[in-house]
Structure 1
């Protein structure tokens, strides 16, 4: 039986934030950026502690057992209020069955924040423990200024809401670490607005759950990605969000079909899809991939939210009650942490 939803206590200046790398670590200019981001948080009053699993010279920051042990320790430590990785990586799936779930069940919930490969951990922390988690900036992105309409993940971790975020209309990019490891302003690239696939308007509510398509699809059908069972314990429908990193449209189509077949959308009121730089296939665009895999669900699909690899970032709380409205010039999402 999935436990009831539990929201970590609000994060406040003075609280301790743990930094560890459940997937990839940091080296070179990337390590400089991580160091700057740690000091950025300290400058805002947070007590930041950096773990041992941070090596960026290989695929992962440490062996899977060591990464799982450090993440378990930080999440279960009552003196740590939040855990954030430097960024994602490739193979966080190798530690999900090595986390000490018995220890975590007995612990008070702690905020876990990130995106990309960290989706592999965020989803089971929410669906297996009932802890709310934040799909938002990793540590290296945390110092970037938040554009009008959006909120920082620190804002969402800091209280119960309701938190209202509106379509920023922006497409931006990172400043490369090698160019400036201390950058705090996104590079403006263009504009793009949320829209309902196929046209129309919507006003829907549900519990949020989702993440990076390329990583969460590998959890589908396992005890660590049983969103269908989790959704069946809720009093509300779900709002499932997905976003693509770099796979071409055919592979994204396959992954979305896998999530559909695993029941991820069985109790969904809508699907939210992030902007992406992932390539099209000669015979299939990314938009067509979404329509092919999810169009048969007869659910509204909202395209081009700021929830993935195209910054700026709109943080979402897995487990929060969300309401999404797209109607003319009104394009917003409201999240309540209760």
Structure 2
């Protein structure tokens, strides 16, 4: 049985299990914290939220210790790291997962490796979506704003989200907006079949660039997770590509397939991506088509997941239903 947090959202903890915020960008995190405080939240940050050296906020053992300390702090109701990074994978050997009790963790990119590992090893639900620095705007778009609703959920709750109206194609930090993002492009969720699709199952996923590295390690035991926490239930995988070209994406998906990660899979949802660079005419759409045919499952793509915001907030471990029709998406998540 999946374990869900059961507490009101009053205090947010900030710690940097991957990259922290260097001194020249402290104002970005300070503004985000200020905006959250204006909304009535208390915010507690760990020291490594404010440091960055050699591609990480601090040494792996320190990052693990600060994460566990803030996780076990009874005053903290949810944890939102500043952003992702590169070397979160170093934490795995330093974490005692059994010290973690149900508490929301929200993030994406490199943070999704930690989120998935926690859910697989403990059955604790974790959330995939916005990081804290992207909450620094004086306004929040309707899609991103659902982060607060999700982190206020407890067992038995049901939440509905819908696809965004527009998305951000590229980052443009030199032209700040009240919402942080530049939402200029029409959002269109697509299906490989070209028809309406409905997927139902337990959600698992994250940034494929990093979660693929859990395969074959003691921290990526998908079969043991299935047997202990969701016996017999199908899985919907949600995946997004940060940096890979299409052949690297295909190799990564094949690795997941060969490792049994797609066993009893009811469908896959891919997020939009600035990557997915074609190799000799081999496109991401071809990858999706082949995957749908090989696994005999529906595949949705260009969804509101990942590095081209805004993002819907998805919960690892939750029972979910995806409906896609006429370019629009609806997601129902039930905490059972």
**TM-score under structure 1 normalisation?**
0.90
String of CA shifts for 1:211-266, please: whole Å, max 9, x gaps. 00100011112221222332344153111110000111111111111111111111
The aligned length equals 329
Q: CA RMSD in A?
A: 2.1
Residues 3-43 of structure 1, C-alpha deviations (whole Å, 9 max, x = no match): x311012443xx22111110111125532111111111111
Shift of the 267–146 alpha-carbon distance from structure 1 to 2, 3 Å rule, reads farther
* 2:163–2:187 CA contact under 8 A, matched in 1: no
1:125 pairs with 97, 118, 122, which one?
118
Q: Which runs of 5+ in 1 are unaligned?
A: none
8 Å CA contact retained: 1:202, 1:327: yes
1:137 matched to 2:135: no
SS of residue matched to 1:299: coil
Q: What is the TM-score of this pair, normalised by structure 2?
A: 0.91
1:152 correspondence with 2:150 = no
Structure 2's unaligned 5+ residue stretches are none
Q: Which residue of 2 aligns with 1:199?
A: 194
Distance in 1, matches of 2:292 and 2:68, equals 35
Distance 1:171 1:297 in 2: 30
Q: Is the 8 A contact 1:206 1:237 kept in 2?
A: yes
**1:230 and 2:225 matched:** yes
Cα distance change of structure 1 residues 330 and 117 upon mapping to structure 2, 3 Å threshold = closer
Q: Deviation per CA, 1:53-95: give whole Å up to 9, x if none.
A: 1312430000000000110111122221111110000010000
Tell me how far apart the structure 2 counterparts of residues 241 and 273 of structure 1 sit (CA, whole Å): 6
SS of 1:40's partner is helix
Do the aligned residues in 2 keep the contact of 1:30 with 1:177 (CA within 8 Å)? no
What are the superposed Cα offsets for residues 265-309 of structure 1, whole Å, 9 maximum, x if unpaired? Answer: 112111111011104133221222333445411110011111101
Q: Note if 1:92 corresponds to 2:85.
A: no
Moved more, 318-327 or 231-240: 231-240
1:7 aligns with 2:1: no
CA distance in 2 between counterparts of 1:92 and 1:229 reads 23
Distance 1:11 1:178, change over 3 A: farther
State the match for 1:277 in structure 2. Answer: 274
Structure 2 match to 1:211 = 206
Q: Please tell me whether residue 250 in structure 1 is matched to residue 247 in structure 2.
A: yes
Separation (CA, whole Å) in 1 of partners of 2:295 and 2:200: 17
CA distance in 2, matches of 1:206, 1:239: 5
- In 1, distance between residues paired with 2:158 and 2:140? 18
